[in-house]
């Protein structure tokens, strides 16, 4: 086991009258009743943000809790007793060895959803909370997205060091690293230049998530031919340390 990745613990704090919670190894630390309640609350958030009324708990649970002992992290924001935003991720490892890229570890962000109208940016707040609480800082983050806006934000945080990239060369071993990420996550299928074609049921979002930079939008929809309505996913990898 990778001790630093799988030590169960829970961190709670208050931010602008909202409660923010980060849980390491939620399978180990949250009771079955709490997991079930949280799944139902999160399901309502995803239905709201995606515009899909057919989302059920079966789709939600794997993203929230994952497999015990693999460095899973869950974070959520509550306003009163209602979940308003949540994020989940994990260190990419098989329980024994971490995925290494350029000498560092990779933290995979599996999902981020936030309802509109919060006094804080839910997604950014939760990702900062997760990163600040990680016992071992990753050198890279990976994530699937269907949003040029998310890509633009990650590109900004990574100071341009994000792949795939509209400009600049990609590392020679990028395809191998993509394959390793997919293997660690247990995904099926092949990555086409960073894109999974028709991987999920439609789009994450009920509205189009455009970047401010129109060049990124053109690259996203024309160059790599992302089609979120058909369930395409972009796998990005960003250097943050």
Reported as a single tens digit per residue, the pLDDT across 105-125 is 899 988 888 887 776 677 778
For the segment 87-91, the average pLDDT, to the nearest whole number, is 89
Mean pLDDT over residues 186-214, rounded?
A: 77
User: Average pLDDT for residues 217-227, to the nearest whole number?
Assistant: 92
Give the number of C-alpha atoms closer than 13 A to the C-alpha of residue 83, restricted to the C-beta side.
26
Which contiguous run of DSSP H or E holds residue 42? Answer: helix 32-50
Share of the chain above pLDDT 70, in %: 92
Q: Is the pLDDT of residue 235 over 70?
A: yes
Contact (CB, 8 A) for 64 and 74 = yes
Which of 11-15, 138-142, 167-171 shows the lowest per-residue confidence on average (mean pLDDT)?
167-171
Predicted TM-score of the model (pTM): 0.83
Scan for tokens 């960003």, then name that residue: 238
Tell me the C-alpha distance between 58 and 48, whole Å.
17
Other Cβ atoms closer than 10 A to 170: 15
Q: What was the pLDDT predicted at 33? A: 93
Query: What integer pLDDT is reported at residue 115 of this predicted model?
Result: 84
Residues 25 and 68 sit within 8 Å (Cβ to Cβ)? yes
Which pLDDT score, from 0 to 100, does residue 220 have? 92
Distance CA 13, CA 11 (A): 7
235 touches 195 (CB < 8 A): yes
Structural contact between residues 219 and 125, judged by C-beta atoms closer than 8 angstroms: no
User: Domains in the chain, ordered, with CATH?
Assistant: 1-138 (3.40.630), 139-241 (no CATH)
**Which of 33, 60, 134, 125 minimizes the C-alpha distance to 91?**
134
CA-based max dimension of the chain: 49
Instruction: Report angle CA 185, 189, 191 to the nearest 5 degrees.
Output: 85
Q: Which residue has the tokens 């894109």?
A: 195
Residue 221 has pLDDT above 70, yes or no: yes
Cα–Cα separations (whole angstroms), residue 127 to 66, 107, 113, 190, 231: 18, 11, 11, 28, 24
């Amino acid at each position: 086991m990778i001790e630093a990745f799988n030590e169960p613990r829970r961190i709670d704090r208050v931010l602008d009258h909202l409660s923010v919670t980060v849980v390491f190894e939620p399978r180990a630390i949250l009771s079955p009743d709490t997991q079930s309640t949280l799944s139902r609350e999160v399901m309502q958030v995803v239905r709201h943000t995606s515009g899909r009324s057919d989302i059920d708990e079966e789709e939600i649970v794997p993203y929230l809790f994952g497999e015990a002992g693999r460095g899973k992290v869950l974070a959520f924001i509550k306003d009163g007793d209602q979940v308003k935003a949540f994020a989940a991720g994990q260190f990419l490892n098989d329980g024994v060895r971490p995925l290494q890229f350029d000498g560092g570890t990779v933290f995979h962000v599996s999902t981020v959803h936030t309802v509109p109208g919060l006094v804080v940016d839910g997604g950014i707040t939760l990702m900062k909370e997760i990163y600040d609480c990680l016992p071992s800082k990753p050198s890279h983050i990976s994530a699937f997205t269907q949003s040029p806006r998310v890509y633009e934000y990650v590109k900004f945080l990574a100071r341009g060091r994000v792949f795939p990239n509209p400009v600049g060369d990609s590392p020679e071993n990028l395809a191998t690293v993509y394959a390793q990420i997919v293997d660690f996550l247990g995904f099926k299928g092949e990555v086409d230049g960073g894109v999974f074609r028709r991987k999920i049921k439609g789009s994450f979002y009920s509205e189009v998530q455009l970047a401010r930079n129109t060049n990124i939008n053109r690259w996203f929809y024309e160059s790599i031919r992302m089609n979120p309505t058909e369930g395409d996913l972009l796998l990005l990898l960003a250097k943050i340390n």
